[in-house]
Structure 1
Amino acid sequence: MTAPPRPPALSAGAMVSSSHPAASFAGARVLADGGNAIDATLAMAAVTWLTLPGQCGIGGDAFAIVYEPDGRVWTVGGSGFGPDGGTAEFYRDRGLSTIPLNGALGVTVPGAPAALAALHAGGATRPLPELWEPAARTAERGLPCSAKTAADVREAFDAVRADAELAAVYTPGGRPPHVGERLPQPALARTIRRLADDPADFYTGEFAERAVAMLRAAGAPFSGDEWAAAAVATPEPAITGGYAGTIVHQTPLPTPGWMVLHQAALCEGAVGAESWLSAEAIDRMARAARLAFQDRFALCASDGSGARNVLEHNRIEQQRRALTARAEERLSFAVRDGDTTCTVAVDADGRAVSFIHSLGFTFGAKVVVPGTGVVLNNRLGRGAYLVPGHPNEVAPRRKPLHTLNAWIATGAGGELLALGSIPGGDGQVQWNMQLISHLFDHGLDPAESVSAPRFTVFPGSDADVIGQPDELRVEATIPDATRARLQEMGHRVVVQPEFGAGGSAQVIRRDSRGVLSGAADPRQEGVAIGVD
Structure 2
Amino acid sequence: MSAQALRPPALATGGMVASSHPLASQAGARVLADGGNAVDAALAMAAVTWLTLPGQCGIGGDAFAVVRDPDGTVWTVNGSGYGPDGGTSAFYRERGFDAIPLDGALAVAVPGAPAALSALHARGASRPLPELWEAAARLAERGLPCSAKTRTDVRTALTAIHGDAGLASVYTPGGTVPHVGERLPQRDLADTIRVLARDPKSFYAGSLAERCVAALQAGGAPFTGDEWQAGAEVAVEAALTGSYAGATVHQTPLPTPGWMVLQQAALSDGVLASEQWLGATAVDRMARAATIAFEDRLRWCGSDNDGADRALTPANIAAGRARLENRSPVGAFTVSGGDTTSLVAVDAEGRAVSFIHSLAFTFGAKFTVPGTGIVLNNRLGRGAYLMDGHPNEVAPRRKPLHTLNAWIVTDSAGELKHVGNTPGGDGQVQWNFQLLSHLLDHGLDPQQAVSAPRFTVFPGSDADVLGQPTELRIEERVPEEIRSSLAERGHRVTTLDAFGADGSAQVVSLDERGVLLGGSDPRQEGVALGVEF
Give the aligned partner of residue 165 of structure 2. Answer: 164
Equivalent residue runs for 1:357-396 within 5 Å: 357-396=357-396
1:33 and 2:34 aligned: yes
CA distance in 2, matches of 1:515, 1:63: 27
Equivalent residues of 1:339, 1:423 under 8 A apart? yes
Secondary structure of 2:299's aligned partner: helix
Give the aligned partner of residue 346 of structure 1. Answer: 346
How many residues are matched?
531
Give the aligned partner of residue 422 of structure 2. Answer: 422
TM-score scaled by length of structure 1? 0.99
| Residue 522 of structure 1, CA deviation | 0.3
1:405 and 2:405 aligned: yes
CA distance in 1, matches of 2:307, 2:331: 19
Consecutive unaligned residues of structure 1, counting only runs of 5 or more, are none
Give the aligned partner of residue 145 of structure 1. Answer: 146
| Residue 102 of structure 1, CA deviation | 0.2
CA distance in 2, matches of 1:258, 1:95: 35
CA distance in 1, matches of 2:221, 2:311: 34
Q: Quick check: 170-179 or 440-449, which moved more?
A: 170-179
Give the aligned partner of residue 106 of structure 1. Answer: 107
Give the aligned partner of residue 179 of structure 1. Answer: 180
In structure 1, what residue type is equivalent to 2:506? Answer: Q
CA distance in 1, matches of 2:168, 2:287: 40
Equivalent residues of 2:291, 2:330 under 8 A apart? no
Give the aligned partner of residue 509 of structure 1. Answer: 509
CA distance in 1, matches of 2:400, 2:67: 24
TM-score scaled by length of structure 2? 0.99
1:6 and 2:3 aligned: no
Secondary structure of 1:34's aligned partner: coil
| Residue 509 of structure 1, CA deviation | 0.3
Give the aligned partner of residue 526 of structure 1. Answer: 526
CA distance in 1, matches of 2:446, 2:341: 18
CA distance in 2, matches of 1:466, 1:321: 26
1:78 and 2:85 aligned: no
Secondary structure of 2:124's aligned partner: coil
Alpha-carbon RMSD across the aligned residues, in angstroms, is: 0.8
Question: Per-residue displacement from partner, 1:443-496 (whole Å, max 9, x unpaired)?
Answer: 000010000000000020000111111000001111100000000000000011
In structure 2, what residue type is equivalent to 1:386? Answer: L
Give the aligned partner of residue 119 of structure 2. Answer: 118
| Residue 328 of structure 1, CA deviation | 3.4
Equivalent residues of 1:83, 1:397 under 8 A apart? yes
CA distance in 2, matches of 1:235, 1:304: 19
CA distance in 2, matches of 1:520, 1:154: 25
Equivalent residue runs for 1:16-415 within 5 Å: 16-331=17-332, 333-415=333-415
CA distance in 2, matches of 1:244, 1:524: 29
CA distance in 1, matches of 2:431, 2:281: 17
Secondary structure of 1:465's aligned partner: coil
Equivalent residue runs for 1:440-519 within 5 Å: 440-519=440-519
Secondary structure of 1:226's aligned partner: helix
Equivalent residues of 2:8, 2:447 under 8 A apart? yes
CA distance in 1, matches of 2:223, 2:173: 32
Question: Per-residue displacement from partner, 1:247-280 (whole Å, max 9, x unpaired)?
Answer: 0000000000000000000011111220100000
Question: Per-residue displacement from partner, 1:156-194 (whole Å, max 9, x unpaired)?
Answer: 100011101100100112111111111000000000000
Secondary structure of 2:161's aligned partner: helix
CA distance in 1, matches of 2:293, 2:273: 19
| Residue 2 of structure 1, CA deviation | 6.1
Question: Per-residue displacement from partner, 1:140-170 (whole Å, max 9, x unpaired)?
Answer: 0000111111100000100011101100100
In structure 2, the CA distance between the partners of 1:164 and 1:2, relative to structure 1 (3 Å rule), is: closer
Secondary structure of 1:65's aligned partner: strand
Question: Per-residue displacement from partner, 1:195-237 (whole Å, max 9, x unpaired)?
Answer: 0011121001111100101101111000000011010100000
Secondary structure of 2:200's aligned partner: coil
Equivalent residues of 1:5, 1:522 under 8 A apart? no
Secondary structure of 2:272's aligned partner: coil
Question: Per-residue displacement from partner, 1:34-92 (whole Å, max 9, x unpaired)?
Answer: 00000000000000000000000000000000001111000000001100000110001
Question: Per-residue displacement from partner, 1:312-359 (whole Å, max 9, x unpaired)?
Answer: 01210111011011013222x211100000010000111000000000
CA distance in 1, matches of 2:404, 2:329: 26
In structure 1, what residue type is equivalent to 2:462? Answer: D
In structure 1, what residue type is equivalent to 2:67? Answer: V
In structure 2, what residue type is equivalent to 1:16? Answer: V
Equivalent residues of 1:339, 1:361 under 8 A apart? yes
In structure 1, what residue type is equivalent to 2:369? Answer: V
Equivalent residues of 1:63, 1:75 under 8 A apart? yes
Structure 1: 4+ residue segments shifted above 6 A: none
CA distance in 1, matches of 2:269, 2:128: 43
Question: Per-residue displacement from partner, 1:364-386 (whole Å, max 9, x unpaired)?
Answer: 00010000000000000001000
CA distance in 2, matches of 1:317, 1:298: 18
CA distance in 2, matches of 1:175, 1:271: 50
In structure 2, what residue type is equivalent to 1:34? Answer: G
Equivalent residues of 1:86, 1:397 under 8 A apart? no
Question: Per-residue displacement from partner, 1:484-524 (whole Å, max 9, x unpaired)?
Answer: 00000000000111111000000000011110000110000
| Residue 100 of structure 1, CA deviation | 0.3
Q: Identity percentage over the alignment?
A: 69
CA distance in 1, matches of 2:330, 2:46: 41
In structure 1, what residue type is equivalent to 2:221? Answer: A
Equivalent residues of 1:66, 1:75 under 8 A apart? yes
Question: Per-residue displacement from partner, 1:94-122 (whole Å, max 9, x unpaired)?
Answer: 11010000000000010000000000000
CA distance in 1, matches of 2:124, 2:483: 47
Equivalent residues of 1:2, 1:477 under 8 A apart? no
Give the aligned partner of residue 431 of structure 1. Answer: 431
CA distance in 1, matches of 2:190, 2:105: 24
| Residue 129 of structure 1, CA deviation | 0.2
